[in-house]
C-alpha cells in the first residue's frame, strides 16, 4: 500500500479531489500555504494499493494546471531608491510524493 501526498494550487484542489472521489478514491483534503509565494495550496492525502498509484498520479496531473502570474520584485539602485518591477513566475501544477505504508487500519 502507498500514501500519495499531492500538493496542488488551491484553484485546482477541489477539482482534483472531486475527480479522484468520482472514480472511487478516498481523499483527505488539507488547506496549506506554500513557501515560495506564500500562496494557498491544497494538500491531498490518498491511500491506494500499489497498482493504483499511476492512475492517481495521472488524474492529479490532468487536473493540476500551471499558470503564469506576475509578482512584484524589488530592485535597489544603491542610493536608497527602490523600484517594484513585476516578474513573471510559473505557479500551479503539482508536487507529488509517494510513500510506503507499513500499516493501515480503518477504525
Domain boundaries, the chain: 2-66+93-100
**What are the b/e assignments for 37-64, b being 16+ CB within 10 Å?**
eeeebbbbebbbeeebbeebbebbeebb
The confidence score (pLDDT) of residue 17 equals 96
Over residues 7-28, the mean pLDDT reads 94
Asked if the model's pLDDT at residue 77 lies above 60, the reply is no
Decide which of 35 and 54 is more confident.
54
pTM over 0.85: no
Which class would CATH give 2-66+93-100?
alpha beta
Asked if the model's pLDDT at residue 105 lies above 60, the reply is yes
Decide which of 85 and 41 is more confident.
41
Percent of the chain scoring above 70 in pLDDT = 77
C-alpha cell at 59: 488524474
The confidence score (pLDDT) of residue 74 equals 61
The confidence score (pLDDT) of residue 75 equals 55
Note the pLDDT tens digit of each residue in 83-95: 667 777 666 678 9
Return the residue matching grid coordinates 516578474.
87
Amino acid at each position: 500500500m502507498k500514501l500519495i501526498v499531492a500538493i496542488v494550487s488551491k484553484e485546482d484542489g477541489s477539482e482534483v479531489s472531486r475527480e479522484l472521489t468520482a472514480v472511487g478514491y478516498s481523499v483527505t483534503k488539507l488547506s496549506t500555504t506554500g513557501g515560495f509565494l506564500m500562496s494557498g495550496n491544497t494538500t491531498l492525502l490518498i491511500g491506494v494499493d500499489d497498482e493504483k498509484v499511476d492512475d492517481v498520479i495521472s488524474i492529479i496531473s490532468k487536473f493540476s494546471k500551471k499558470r503564469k502570474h506576475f509578482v512584484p520584485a524589488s530592485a535597489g539602485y544603491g542610493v536608497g531608491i527602490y523600484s517594484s518591477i513585476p516578474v513573471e513566475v510559473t505557479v500551479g501544477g503539482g508536487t507529488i510524493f509517494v510513500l510506503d505504508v507499513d500499516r493501515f487500519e480503518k477504525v
